[in-house]
Structure 1
Amino acid sequence: MSGYLLFKSLHLIVVISWMAGLLYLPRIFVYHVENFEKNEATEIFEIMERKLYNYIMRPAMILSWLFGIILIWINGIESFAYLWLQLKILLVVFLTIYHEYLGKCIRLLK
């Protein structure tokens, strides 16, 4: 059971990191757009966006999926029968789509 608690703890940590990035990145977009005329500020915000997305959010998303799959595997594949798990996976798919949308926004702001 200790392996389960380890993976559950890791899953919780990376999900919180991913959520923080998903909530903070749009705020950086606002700062970026507000300072669009200032080249120096624009460069700083582009670096912030890129680093947040590539070094924090993307690994956190991948690890969230990985640890979540490991937890399902530990609990047994029959846990898919639970409606709450199906809904949770659906919501995580939507969050992943939103994550990719934010990546597209970064490319459009350049």
Structure 2
Amino acid sequence: MLYLWLKALHIIAVVCWFAGLFYLPRLFVYHAMSEDAASRERFCVMERKLYRGIMTPASIAALVFGIWMLVLNPGLFASGAWLHVKLTLVALLIGYHHACGAMLKRFARDENRHTHTFYRWFNEVPVLFLLAIVILVVVKPF
């Protein structure tokens, strides 16, 4: 029963984390397009609150619950390469998360060096992670 609760909490945390991963780069798009100081400051506040208040706690919760499930069921490691690929993608996703944090800090220092077009493309990256991870977990293709 504990395992099912952990799985539910893991899924909830992942959904919250991805909501932030989808929205923060969208805020970067609008921030890069903003032309007045008041708008830029407003975006800085929104970005910081999203990153620190939602994304980072959700990512930590997703990792804690995921690791806890692996500790309770170490046999998953032998169930196929799908888990190893998924964990590699999660590691890359953590890197993406930290890249968002670095961009947020550059915006806060008013040192953004990318156009809104760059952020529009950057915003699509988590979609690829989500597709790959869900397919790996549900289909277990290998």
Instruction: Give your verdict on TM over 0.5.
Output: yes
Q: Which portions of structure 1, spanning 4 or more consecutive aligned residues, are displaced by more than 4 angstroms?
A: none
- Structure 2: distance between partners of 1:74 and 1:84: 18
Q: For residues 3 and 75 of structure 2, what CA distance do their matches in structure 1 show?
A: 16
Normalising by structure 2, we get a TM-score of: 0.73
Identity of aligned residues (%): 45
CA–CA distance in structure 2, aligned partners of residues 27 and 95 of structure 1: 17
Q: Which residue of 2 aligns with 1:57?
A: 55
2:39 aligned residue:
41
Q: Select which of 74, 81, 94 maps to 1:96.
A: 94
Question: TM-score scaled by structure 1?
Answer: 0.93
- Corresponding residue number in structure 1 for 2:132: none
1:78 match:
75
Q: Give unmatched runs, 5+ long, in structure 1.
A: none
CA distance in 2, matches of 1:8, 1:78: 16
1: CA distance, partners of 2:41 / 2:106: 14
Highest RCO, 1 vs 2 (Cα 8 Å, sep ≥ 6)? 2
Query: How far off is 1:33 after superposition?
Result: 1.0
Q: By how many angstroms is 1:87 displaced?
A: 0.8
Partner of 1:25: 24
Corresponding letter in the other structure for 2:18: M
Runs of at least 5 residues in structure 2 that lack an aligned partner in the other structure:
109-142
Question: Aligned-pair distance for 1:80?
Answer: 1.4
> Deviation at 1:78?
3.0
> Aligned letter for 1:22?
L
